[in-house]
Amino acid sequence: MDFSIPDELIALRQSFAAFLDREIRPLEEEYGREFWGEAPDRDVLAPVIQGIRRRSAQEGFYAAYMPEEAGGQGLSVLGTSLLVEDAARSGMRLAMAAIAPPNPAGPSPLLLKLPPHLWETYVLPVAAAEKTMCFALTEPEAGSDAQAIRTTAVRDGDEWVITGHKHYITNGEHADFAIVFAVTDAEKRAAGGITAFVVPSDQFRRGKLQWNLSDSHPAELFFDEARVPADHVIGEVGMGFFEAMAFLNSGRAYIGAQSLGLAEWALDAAVEHAKVRTAFGKPLGKNQGVSFPLARSKADIEAIRWLVYHLAWRVDTEGDPLAIMGDASITKYYSTEQAYAVADRCLQVFGGMGLMREGPIERVLRHLRMLRVVEGASEVQLLVIARTLGL
């Protein structure tokens, strides 16, 4: 077993770190306070975030995980996971805009299943950050049980007519188009009866913004007999769930990498605070009530690290995605749960300061709390893990 990071990925991380310091840090210092209010001014932040995406795309980072013919570099899942980790560990809210995963605004590999003549419209502009997209699966009556979706698609000549309601859709507010999952065979459903479509924004109606506890807020989308050409099917009709499954494991790695980076940032901040803040005549870190929780957090972070790196390596080297689904669920479950626990301990070290919006930990804790739910809640991951045990 070789646990070393390849030299070319080390060089890539160094280049990305320099990009974050050069391009993102000045913007973070200028616009970071926009996140502090209860309702951040999204009209101010949206063009800043879009500018970061485009600049990162020009530098080759934003969609590096896409193949070269689709505007990327063909970067491995391990390499992409390292960039996601580094963006999160930087402590800058705006840094996560510089690398598309795990944000669905960036290009999904699912788009590669579109006919080649549609790439100029949907694939290449998203890889260049000239457009954004969203992933529209979740519905009011279908969350963890995604096969229970009610949105339907009916063939009408050379078009598909899509009717339904999606919610909790990240980047639904700004997306130029959506990847929409709809039932095309009510009897087969997930076993060959759910199809994925590309639907341009002029064919759906945006509902209210759904404010949640993180800094990213999803939206409702309504499809009122939306019409798309027959060639806007992703892959094959009825195979939408199977198409998405092929990229599920890499998504778990990216969520794990983000959790890892955020936990590292929280621990770095708490350790520094414990060294310089004094109480009862000595630094906080000289008290076991502070040093032991931080030591435990370091151990947890290293466990998260190797779960994430190992999963990314397996995705890169394993041909059968079903063979590593258990590892993917273990990584998603453990990384989000333990990173949240780490951030909670680190917030406690800061005391009252830790509760402040302008503090270093509060927004990390909120984001990690969200990650325990999205992309498959922890309980769903435990269900998958239990099945790998034959239970």
Digit-coded pLDDT (tens) for 48-100 = 999 999 999 999 999 999 999 999 999 999 999 999 999 999 999 999 999 99
Which entry of 173, 220, 243, 375 is annotated as an active-site residue? 375
Q: Tokens 């709809």 sit at which residue? A: 182
30: left (phi > 0), else alpha (psi -120 to 50), else beta?
alpha
- Asked if residues 105 and 76 have their Cβ atoms less than 8 Å apart, the reply is no
The pTM assigned to this predicted structure is 0.95
Tokens of residue 230, six digits: 């027959």
18/12 Cα distance (integer angstroms): 10
Question: Quick one: pLDDT band at residue 37, thresholds 50, 70, 90?
Answer: low
Percent with pLDDT over 70 in the chain: 98
Measure the CA–CA gap between 145 and 163, rounded to whole angstroms.
19
Q: Does residue 44 or residue 124 have the better pLDDT?
A: 124
- Reference 70, options 41, 111, 98, 34; nearest CA is 111
Instruction: Give residue 43's pLDDT.
Output: 78
Quickly state the pLDDT bin for 23 (edges 50, 70, 90). very high
How far apart are alpha carbons 282 and 89 in whole angstroms? Answer: 29
In tens, the pLDDT along 258-305 reads 999 999 999 999 999 999 999 999 999 999 999 999 999 999 999 999
Question: Which residue segments constitute the domains of the chain, with CATH numbers given?
Answer: 7-108 (1.10.540), 133-238 (2.40.110.10), 247-388 (1.20.140.10)
**How far is Cα 85 from Cα 283, in angstroms, rounded to an integer?**
30
pLDDT at 116: 96
Residue 188 CA to residue 238 CA, distance in Å, equals 8
Strand blocks (E) in the chain: 133-136, 152-156, 159-169, 177-183, 194-200, 205-209, 219-229, 233-234, 278-279, 282-283
68 is catalytic: no
Digit-coded pLDDT (tens) for 316-370: 999 888 899 999 999 999 999 999 999 999 999 999 999 998 889 999 999 999 9
* 232 and 182 Cβ atoms separated by less than 8 Å: no
CA–CA dist 171, 275 (Å, integer): 40
Q: Give the pLDDT score at 32.
A: 82
Gap between the Cα atoms of 352 and 359, Å rounded: 10
Q: Which two tokens stand for residue 327?
A: 């590892």
Q: How many CB atoms lie within 10 A of CB 150?
A: 14
Q: Residues 74-89, buried b or exposed e (16+ Cβ, 10 A)?
A: ebbbbbbbbbbbbbbb
Asked if residue 128 has pLDDT above 80, the reply is yes
